[in-house]
Amino acid sequence: MSASRLNFRLDAQAAGSRARAATFQTLHNEVVTPLFMPVGTQATVKAQLTRTLEEAGSQIVLANTYHLLLRPGPEVFRQLGGIHRFMSWDRSVLTDSGGFQIFSLPHSRSMSEAGAVFQSYLDGKTILLSPELSIETQKTMNSDIMMALDRCIASTADEATAREAMAMTHRWAARSLAARGDSAQSLFAIVQGALLSELRRESAARLTEMPFDGFAIGGLAVGEGKSEREDVCEFTAGLLPNDKPRYLMGVGTPLDILEAVHRGVDMFDCIIPTQVAQRGAVFTSRGYLQMKRGVYKFAEEQLDAECECPTCTRYSRAYLHHLAKSGETLGWQLLGKHNLYFYHQLMREIRESILAGEFLELYHRKREFLHESDLDNPTRLPKPPRKRALRLRNYEVHIAREGFASMRHIASGEIMHSRTEPMEEARRLYVEQSNLAERVRDRTMEKLVVWDVGLGAAANAMAAIRCYEEQAKTAPTRPMRLVSFENDLDSLQLAF
């Protein structure tokens, strides 16, 4: 058996980004990346036919070992010839290890070197999920890609806890490889290390020494903030080999996925498309829509004018609104179908843009609207313009002859940025002279801390933020933290 069972091939690497497009071959089909895998927890993607998944463009479906181990149980898969035949799906299946469910589901559990002990939520039986049992179960399902059992912890755990969990994950990874033996099924390891770059580095180094077929970035989407997740994701992806797939587990919204592709990740899975559909929500080319809103009651137009899915081509927003309001199963199914098409269409566009050398343009264009709610029917009315106060306690707004505004301290008469427009002066005097642009591009995980001693009306702070944002548009950046010791916020309030 060769070192990699997937014959991973890099098709293109985006310029100015870590985004990449690749192709690999599983036991069932050729897979192109970046790709999104719908989640079929109980060997079904909720409320969707496997035929719909094929038509939408799903290449791999994820199934949960934890749930399927408990029901229907490995014996069913053994007798019925694996999960593909069982669920009538002839493309690829990735099975997770069960580790994440044991960590996240609310029931008693205990961890030891042997594995995770937990009680079945079906019959209360005590089960020891060892790395070997996890692999054995995944083997009976005959999934294309298996995951090694890992020890999950909250991403915000302290260093000692994170280190211990990581070391156990490494030992379990080696046991999983041994249990896989010469099976033709692929096996991925999961890089742990919480939010600590030193541990992530250690984990990646240790696991990439072993002959895994791909690597997942684990331990994220479990308690950290969005920017922390993106930093760790980028840092960890950069530690993984170029010739193996990289998989970010449990992520995410379309915007999260776009950001992670930009940071070098190839594979994603998430329950979001079908889960939000159950609650009546959809992602569209005009933003995120909650179909229960009254604005759609008489809306005759299709759900998303740019989508060609069976839901969009056949049903009006008014009908989908009615189904969502009534809690009808069909509404869940139709909205879920659209969301799956939306995700897969996004992944296809991302891949095409990488192949065409236009990923960064697409990235900036998509970023503009992917976080938006319905652009055509905003939920909040715009605020009426307020009358601006020009004076607050010790400060007043000073209008220069050239027309720009700056801040004047009334008692002393001192005008901040009196000669030049404040933002321009801040840029020249502080941002350029401190080489801020160069410093934020420094390839490190360490935060760049900027001390803006007297905040004032925040011209310098805003200039620093603007500089950071400009850099982030074109190149990966390190995190930046802005600290001020100001104790008088009057001029800031006045400027605002």
Torsion 367-13-3-239 (CA) sign: negative
Q: Which of 240, 255, 163, 160 is nearest to 207 (CA)?
A: 240
Q: Which stretch binds Zn ion (CB under 5 A): 65-73, 89-97, 129-137, 309-317?
A: 309-317
Q: 285 vs 394, which CB is nearer to Zn ion?
A: 285
In the complex, minimum distance from the CB of residue 44 to Zn ion, in angstroms, rounded to a whole number: 21
Asked if 277 interacts with Zn ion (CB under 5 A), we say no
Catalytic residue among 96, 213, 256, 452: 96
Torsion 288-290-295-301 (CA) sign: positive
Q: 86 vs 288, which CB is nearer to Zn ion?
A: 288
Exposure string for 293-328, b = 16+ CB within 10 A, e = fewer: bebbeebeebbbeebebebbeebbbebbbbbbbeee
The SS3 assignment for 290 reads strand
Tokens of 491: 């001029």
Size of the site for Zn ion (CB under 5 A): 6
The SS3 assignment for 281 reads strand
Asked if 289 interacts with Zn ion (CB under 5 A), we say no
Type and span of the H or E element at 204: helix 197-208
In the complex, minimum distance from the CB of residue 298 to Zn ion, in angstroms, rounded to a whole number: 20
Please classify residue 12 by burial: count the beta carbons closer than 10 Å to its beta carbon, then call 0-12 exposed, 13-18 middle and 19+ buried.
Answer: middle
Asked if 309 interacts with Zn ion (CB under 5 A), we say yes
In the complex, minimum distance from the CB of residue 60 to Zn ion, in angstroms, rounded to a whole number: 21
Q: Which stretch binds Zn ion (CB under 5 A): 86-94, 308-316, 441-449, 457-465?
A: 308-316
Catalytic residue among 150, 256, 269, 374: 269
Tokens 């970035």 locate to 217
Exposure string for 143-177, b = 16+ CB within 10 A, e = fewer: bbbbbbbbbbbbbebeeeebbebbbbbbebbbbbb
Q: 304 vs 374, which CB is nearer to Zn ion?
A: 304
In the complex, minimum distance from the CB of residue 54 to Zn ion, in angstroms, rounded to a whole number: 16
Taking CB under 5 A as the criterion, the residue among 39, 312, 354, 455 binding Zn ion is 312
Q: List the x/- string, 202-241, binding to Zn ion by CB under 5 A.
A: ----------------------------------------
Encoded amino acid at 448, one letter: L
266 is catalytic: no
Q: Which stretch binds Zn ion (CB under 5 A): 95-103, 306-314, 343-351, 458-466?
A: 306-314
Tokens 């609650």 locate to 279
Asked if 206 and 221 count as a contact pair (C-beta separation under 8 A), the reply is no
Taking CB under 5 A as the criterion, the residue among 5, 91, 200, 338 binding Zn ion is 338
Q: Which stretch binds Zn ion (CB under 5 A): 56-64, 125-133, 239-247, 330-338?
A: 330-338
Taking CB under 5 A as the criterion, the residue among 220, 260, 307, 320 binding Zn ion is 307
How far apart CA 339 and CA 278 sit, in angstroms, is 11
96 is catalytic: yes
Residues near Zn ion (CB under 5 A) are 304, 307, 309, 311-312, 338
* Residues with catalytic roles: 96, 269
